[in-house]
Amino acid sequence: EARLRVEKEAQARTEEEARLRVIAEARARTEEEARIKAEEEAQARAQEARLRAEAEEEARIKAETEAMAREEEEALIKVELEASVKQDEGSVKNESNKNALKESFLARLTSAASTNEEKTASKGSDQGIVLSTSGAQGKVISDKVPMKKQKKMSEMTKGEMIEYLAKFPPIVPKPYCEFRINGKVIRGQLEKKTGEMVFIKQGYGKRPIKCDIRQIETVAILNL
């Protein structure tokens, strides 16, 4: 009987130990799961905070960029407006001066060209006459050009006419001309001459033409 009691007590202890071990293992698993869950939640919160911070930074940069763009645009509009006002004021003040300067410049330039032509005519120059009121090429000077100037311009050679057009100062409107370049007719204004190269400005939105003087066959002033 004593032996049976001892065996029962031993068995009871064994069962209790097993039960306690199961409980401890379950508690450990629960704690591990809770720890893992807490870490995942912490990582998720950190990721969310990081994304929120990045979004806020992007929004801040975007707002600053837009603000700078608006400031630059407003400054540009202000500058353009001020320039336009000054240009309008200058145009009103200088319109009569421009016309007077143009007439004076044309008179001096055509007079000089005529004198130079008289000096060189006796040498038998074989350069082709670019502006002519008669002959195979027909009338190439517009009726809008004053007769007083036509008489002198018609005696110019191609090279003299190009030099004449190139000497117009920036303040004087460039004459509107017709150029025959390699057989093709181009209308525009001789913007500038650099060495043997000339730059012809066409209408609005068209790119200037760059060509060698030797490519130009004829030059006709259509309108001064």
Q: Determine the 3-state secondary structure of 13 from DSSP.
A: helix
pLDDT (mean) for 93-103: 61
Comparing C-alpha atoms, which of 144, 141, 136 is closest to residue 153? 141
pLDDT for residue 148 is more than 80: no
Q: Alpha-carbon torsion 27, 28, 31, 32, what sign?
A: negative
Residue 71 has pLDDT above 60, yes or no: yes
CATH architecture for the domain at 126-223 = Roll (2.30)
Average pLDDT for 129-149: 41
Task: Tell me the pLDDT tens digit for each residue of 165-179.
Answer: 998 887 788 899 999
Give residues with Cβ within 8 angstroms of 105, minimum separation 6. Answer: 168, 169, 172
- pTM reported for the whole predicted model: 0.38
Structure confidence at residue 124 (pLDDT): 38
The residue-averaged pLDDT of 158-169 equals: 89
| pLDDT at 135 exceeding the cut of 50 | no
Give, to the nearest 10 degrees, the angle between helix 2-121 and helix 158-166: 120
Residue type, 188: G
Q: Out of 128-132, 201-205, 214-218, pick the least confident.
A: 128-132
Looking at residue 184, its pLDDT comes to 94
**Reported confidence tier of residue 108, pLDDT bands at 50, 70, 90:** low
Stronger pLDDT, 131 or 223, i.e. the higher one: 223
- Give me the chain's average pLDDT, please: 78
Percentage of the chain exceeding pLDDT 90: 42
Euclidean distance between CA atoms 221 and 202, whole angstroms: 14
* Closest residue by Cα to residue 163 from 135, 132, 194, 126: 194
Q: Which residues of 43-69 are buried (b: 16+ CB within 10 A; e: fewer)?
A: eeeeeeeeeeeeeeeeeeeeeeeeeee
Beta bridge pairs of residue 223: 176
